[in-house]
Amino acid sequence: MISWFAKNSVAANLLMFVILIAGSYTMWQRVTVETFPSIEFDYINVSVPFRGSTPEEVEQTVSTRIEEAVYDLEGIKELSSSSSEGVGRVTIEVEEGYDVKDLLDQVKSRVDALNTLPIEAEKPIISQSIRRREAISVVVSGDLPEKELRRYAEIIQQEIASLPGLSQIETSGVRSYEIAIEFNQARLNEFNLTLQDVASAVNQRSLDLSAGQVRSERGDILLRLKGQSYTREEFTQIPILTRPDGTILELGDLATIRDGFEEESVNTRFDGKPSIELEIYRTGTQSTIEVSERVINYVKTKKSELPAGVSLSVWRDRSEPLEARLSTLISSAVQGGLLVILLLALFLRPSIALWVSLGIPIAFAGGMIFMPELGISVNLISLFAFILVLGIVVDDAIVTGENIYNHLNKGDKPLDAAINGTKEVAVPVTFGVITTMVAFLPLAFMGGGWGVFYSQIPYIVIPVLIFSLVESKFILPAHIGHMKAASKEKEPNKLIQYQQKFAKGFEKAILKFYKPLLAFVLHHWFLSLVIFVSILLIVWATISSGITRFVYFPRIQSEIARVSLQMPEGTPFEVTDSYVEKITNAALKLQEKYRDDDGNSVVEHIFSSSGSTWGGGSASSNIGRVMIEMMPPEKRDESITSTKLVSEWRQLIGPLPGVETLTFRAEIGRSGDPIDVQLRGSDITRLNAAAKEVKQTLSTVSGVFDITDSFSKGKQEIQFTLKPQAETLGISLSDLARQVRNSYFGVEVQRIQRGREDVRVMLRLAQEERGSLEGLNSLLINTPAGGKIPLSQLAELSYGKSPASIYRINRQRTLNITADVDKENADIEAIKRRIIADATDIVSNYPGVSFSLEGEAREQEESNYNLLISLGFVLFAIYILLAIPFKSYVQPFVVMGVIPFGAAMATIGHWIMGMPLSIMSMMGMLALTGVVVNDSLVLVDYINQQRRKYGESLTDAVLHAGVRRLRPVMLTSLTTFAGLMPLIFEKSTQAQFLIPMAVSLGFGILLSTLVTLVLVPLLYYKATHVKHWVKRTVAK
């Protein structure tokens, strides 16, 4: 095949054009552009709204029953639940290897079969966790009444939804619509009515009903009764009863009807003004950039149509960081590519360097062909994978091209040189590429938060390497084989002269410096081995002692800073809102402080919310959030970091009395808390007591801050116990509970569809009668005999506390203590060791309580396990792939001897860059194991050829191979580092979490060059001696 393609340049060129055209078409027409890959997580969520219920009631009647119904299903890794006021949620983590869809169907069957859930609870919502694909947000703001601002937001939402390709739009920071029908007890008693009587009357008189059809000779005619009320005015006119004098008592005569929003207060502000956020998501294969462009163009047009006082702004445009990241990575790729070409032109003939470099776009185009089939989009991770493989992809072409170049220098004709040069290195080059693919393969199966994203890397790298192999075997020889031979009569141009001068000078340097060094090493083999092993031990000692710091996931500054405020449960909304306003005012001061002469500020926008969480969370009067959007780092002074801004913001806010938790975040990529101690047990009192001790211990640890826990004292609770008199009157606990619930929480009489909104119609007592304990005691309870007796005469009232939320894991109550850590200075591993020791002592004092480290610690444990298994697989696979071409059991160990030194050199690379080791560094080292053996493989194969074909002595063969293979070894190392160098030294935020992996690969390969050129020949030399000694010993 190699000879056939080399001689048939038309076939080789056609193959090249097909790959380039197919790859280009796929990239422009079939591949989605997004910030991060869209990934379905292996979680199943069961949510049950139970409005008006307490957390303990939700736990007992909803969460626990669902847990018991599904816990024994095969494929469940972890079962967790949270029970909060008005809702219960159960989350099922699916075991690896099980089909999520199948387990989802089983969970649905089990939950649907439950007949013990409360009647008042709504239908369970069961779904698989899917990462939402946000594109851009639009904020409607202005000093307008809530209903009017909502009307403008709905118009804008409808208009955006009508734009081509835009359909997923959700509102945030708004209250649900509600029609509230409120009564005074005295008014009901005047007409001897109960809430249930009114509810029945409304249901009977407010409805649309199909009544069949008339089958006439002219055709069928449908019959329909229309009487459904939709507005306040229509509900006001509903007849409730007919008086003795024949007049009709309408609902409006009996009750106050309010057509507005649910009672829970929410206040959302954008740059200090009341606002409503519209979140626009991309769907299918839509590009984030394309969606954002359409929305931005709409906003520009719509602004001029809005009345004075109403603003329309773009907020959190995800296309901006995406375009910046694309620009950063593409720029790094272009710069790396140019450096690779420059290096090749220096060491090889420029024409050969050109053909070798052509392998980059061909291999990349080949990798692009399979992106849609593998479910890969153009995103930050996939682009990083292309940069990662940029320098590696030409390794096989470099070895092949350099060998052809050597044949040309010997006087071979171009075609013969191309065929013979390619064939000579075909076996080691092929197996070298396969070892690299094997090393990247385990990344596809990494677990953990970021492991899922990094799993996309091998789906880019492996196809690219396959096509690079195709290019180096079938296309490259055809191109070089049909080059014109260099004319000996014609004087070469200046570029060729310089290249020839450099090449000759490099060859002389090899003979003058490297060959004597290698001879010295072979002669003083013991001293040399001691030096290499000492380097390895020193690096390992710095890691194990903590001198070389390990941070699982380094803190990477974000362009969004967040403050989360949590007040004690039951805190009035007005108090929470005043604190949120204070935090917002501090952000406004920060905005003004960093405003330049042109009016631009580092703090671009401020978004705040009181009484609700973002992302569709339920309203809660004790919750507040404030976000600031900052100018990208590349557009602002380098000294103004996100960390500095957040620190100043914290100082401007100052102390806030009575706050339960106040946390600051300004980082990206955080999937768990750096410190997360999870306590488990059945007794919530013991859990709380243990948690207090753990928090006290953490507060004494240097570098630990923002310590909080998941236990909140919750709201005050009034509990009812029936008196004997109630039983005598025929009132059961169930009757009492239902009447109290209907009066205070309300009866959902109807749920109507009004436009695009689902509107509840609620029937309850008036707010003034529900706002005091006196009103509760005097609440009239209806008896079966038709009497009305105050609640205080039927039940004993006692006071207590209800927890805000109750968390359970694997059917046990849990309590989490979380904290942040100063990752730049603190020794996280030492902190974790201390926490384990202290927590062990603490829980020993509380029988039935156990603990575990969760958050980043758990992810790190899982990742370390996966890395260990992956390393074992990679080493075993590499051994097999080396043993086959060498036909030896020993020589693979010679080549693999460079692997631990590759990891050591990668660590030294982190020292040079002033970076701690991280999980991304470890992934880079894993991939490095396959790349770093390539040069050693070719070197050992050349030694074998010299001894087998030409009968050279061991020493001569080792020296000859070292001299002969130094140039391709240097070239492959330098081109790999050159391809990664622009990314390694990139300063933008977008590239920071990719750099550790690039440092491991780049510096690992570059600094391992000396190991490859010196240690591998030495190991081969001594292994052969040992082998001969063993044979002689056995023979005796």
Find the CATH number of the domain harbouring 289: 3.30.70.1320
| Residue 513 located in a structural domain | yes
Average pLDDT over residues 62-67: 93
Whether the pLDDT of residue 615 is over 50: the answer is no
683, 848 Cβ separation under 8 angstroms: yes
Per-residue model confidence as pLDDT tens digits over 95-118: 878 888 899 999 999 999 998 899
Which has the closest alpha carbon to 669: 408, 891, 989, 377? 989
pLDDT band at 836 (very low <50, low <70, confident <90, very high): very high
Per-residue model confidence as pLDDT tens digits over 804-818: 788 899 888 899 898
**Which structural domain range is residue 188 located in?**
177-215+224-261
Whether the pLDDT of residue 451 is over 70: the answer is no
Whether the pLDDT of residue 880 is over 90: the answer is yes
Which of 130, 156, 187 is the last residue in one of the domains? 130
User: What token pair was written down for 815?
Assistant: 């309590």
Which has the closest alpha carbon to 746: 191, 266, 366, 182? 182
909, 925 Cβ separation under 8 angstroms: no
* 377 and 508 fall within a common domain: yes
Average pLDDT over residues 636-645: 80
Which has the closest alpha carbon to 755: 9, 302, 161? 161
| Residue 208 located in a structural domain | yes
Mean pLDDT of the chain: 85
Q: What's the CATH number where 205 sits?
A: 3.30.2090.10
Whether the pLDDT of residue 974 is over 90: the answer is no
* 464 and 356 fall within a common domain: yes
pLDDT of the residue at 132? 64
Which of 283, 317, 351 is the last residue in one of the domains? 317
Q: What are phi and psi of 795, to 5 degrees?
A: -145, 145
Q: What's the CATH number where 911 sits?
A: 1.20.1640.10
* 313 and 391 fall within a common domain: no
| Residue 677 located in a structural domain | no
| Residue 187 located in a structural domain | yes
* 142 and 188 fall within a common domain: no
> What is the pTM for the complete model shown?
0.77
pLDDT of the residue at 448? 58
Per-residue model confidence as pLDDT tens digits over 738-773: 888 888 888 899 999 988 788 999 999 998 888 888
Structure-token match 């299903």, residue found = 73
Query: In this prediction, what percent of the chain has a pLDDT beyond 90?
Result: 25
Buried b (16+ CB within 10 A) or exposed e, 442-480: bbbebebbbbbbbbbbbbbbbbbbbbbbbbbbbbbbbbb
In the chain, the number of structural domains is 5
Least confident range from 113-122, 280-289, 340-349, 626-635: namely 340-349
Which of 97, 130, 163 is the last residue in one of the domains? 130
* 347 and 455 fall within a common domain: yes
pLDDT band at 229 (very low <50, low <70, confident <90, very high): very high
891 vs 599, more confident: 891
Q: Which of 330-339, 689-698, 766-775, 945-954 has the highest mean pLDDT?
A: 689-698
* 406 and 528 fall within a common domain: yes
* 404 and 536 fall within a common domain: yes
User: What token pair was written down for 889?
Assistant: 């059991």
Query: Any idea of the CA torsion for 123, 124, 127, 133, to the nearest 10 degrees?
Result: 70
Average pLDDT over residues 608-636: 76
Q: What's the CATH number where 93 sits?
A: 3.30.70.1430
| Residue 123 located in a structural domain | yes
Q: Which amino acid is located at 870 in the chain?
A: S
Whether the pLDDT of residue 617 is over 70: the answer is no
* 22 and 162 fall within a common domain: no
Instruction: Provide the 3-class DSSP secondary structure of residue 309.
Output: coil
Query: Exposed, middle or buried: residue 616 (CB in 10 Å: 0-12, 13-18, 19+)?
Result: exposed
* 124 and 204 fall within a common domain: no
d(CA 52, CA 46): 19
* 462 and 582 fall within a common domain: no
pLDDT of the residue at 395? 79
Average pLDDT over residues 699-727: 82
pLDDT of the residue at 876? 93
Per-residue model confidence as pLDDT tens digits over 371-404: 988 888 888 788 888 888 877 887 777 788 778 8
1018, 587 Cβ separation under 8 angstroms: no
Query: Any idea of the CA torsion for 57, 61, 64, 66, to the nearest 10 degrees?
Result: -140
| Residue 891 located in a structural domain | yes
Q: Which of 146-160, 620-634, 707-721 has the highest mean pLDDT?
A: 146-160
468 vs 167, more confident: 468
| Residue 655 located in a structural domain | yes
Average pLDDT over residues 620-632: 86
* 946 and 1016 fall within a common domain: yes
pLDDT band at 492 (very low <50, low <70, confident <90, very high): low
| Residue 439 located in a structural domain | yes
**Sign of the CA dihedral 665, 667, 671, 676?**
negative
Per-residue model confidence as pLDDT tens digits over 279-304: 998 876 678 888 888 999 999 999 98
Q: Which of 149-153, 350-354, 381-385, 1022-1026 has the highest mean pLDDT?
A: 149-153
Helix (H) or strand (E) holding 133: none
pLDDT of the residue at 671? 67
Average pLDDT over residues 162-169: 83
* 503 and 571 fall within a common domain: no
